[in-house]
Amino acid sequence: MTEKITKALSRLNKILPLKENQENSSLQLKKLHQHILRSFVEKGRILNKTEISAFIDDFNLADGSNLADDYDAVFYAGGHGPLWDLAEDNNSIALIEKMYTSGKPVAAVCHAPAVLRHTKAPDGSYLIKGKSITGFSNSEEDAVQLSEIVPFLLENELKEKGANYSKGEDWHPYEVTDGNLITGQNPASSEPVAKVVLAQLNP
């Protein structure tokens, strides 16, 4: 069964009507893969081209908030990448705003709290204003010698947006929860953040 699924997914690029350079087409593709695998389990066969096309037509990625109803929580992993892409991505911003205002857990670890920098509350203020939060610290950025490379220092950015930023010892687990907003300082903080998310999903 696994081999059949693998072969089927490898043929997707030949039949998917994805537009070239479509924004976030990779996210669309991942969601399609999930749909195909689910259908394979339920129907015992791979979806045909017509069924795939119909699914894509129904999946509107123009507004990230459309995805919020499909998930119970969102967890942004770390790495420096979010400083350049997800921090500026309108789909991601819309997704976070909808998830947060719906009371669903919104979690981010290490550099990933950068995705919160442009998010807004319903009243137009920054979503993280007055919120207790953490993220990769200036001292940790200095330690990896990338303070002059990154587009902005996360600790400074979070403070400038009005967040109540705090941090623990460099490279040690440090997690901060403020309602359904959960953040972790560094890679070592991934586990405690994940545990809080699970606890909120299973009270």
- From 31-45, 91-105, 111-125, the region with the lowest mean pLDDT: 31-45
pLDDT-based confidence at 70, cuts 50/70/90? confident
The question of whether 88 is a catalytic residue gets the answer: no
Q: Mean pLDDT throughout 27-40?
A: 62
Is the pLDDT at 95 greater than 80, yes or no?
Answer: yes
Burial of 39 (C-beta count, 10 Å sphere; 0-12/13-18/19+): middle
Average pLDDT rounded to a whole number, residues 70-90: 90
Q: Which of 97, 140, 141, 175 is catalytic?
A: 141
Report yes or no: 43 and 51 within 8 Å, Cβ to Cβ: no
Strand 164-165, strand 132-133: pairing: parallel
Q: 125 vs 14, which has greater pLDDT?
A: 125
- Please write the tens of the pLDDT for every residue from 181-191: 999 999 999 99
Q: Give yes or no for residue 129 having a pLDDT over 70.
A: yes
The question of whether 110 is a catalytic residue gets the answer: yes
Among residues 97, 110, 155, 175, the one annotated as catalytic is 110
Domain boundaries in the chain? 2-61, 66-201
Homologous superfamily, domain 66-201:
Class I glutamine amidotransferase (GATase) domain (3.40.50.880)
What's the confidence (pLDDT) of residue 71? 86
Question: Are the C-beta atoms of 188 and 198 separated by less than 8 Å?
Answer: no
**How far is the C-alpha of 12 from the C-alpha of 149, rounded, in Å?**
37
Please indicate whether residue 157 is annotated as part of the active site.
no
Give the CA radius of gyration of the chain: 19
DSSP annotation of 75 reads: E
How does the average pLDDT of the chain come out, rounded?
82
Among residues 97, 111, 140, 155, which one is catalytic? Answer: 111
State the pLDDT confidence band at 156, using cuts at 50, 70 and 90.
very high
Average pLDDT over residues 107-133: 97
Q: What is the mean pLDDT of residues 57-86?
A: 77
The percent of residues in the chain predicted with pLDDT above 90, rounded, is 59
* CA 38 – CA 199 distance, rounded (Å): 26
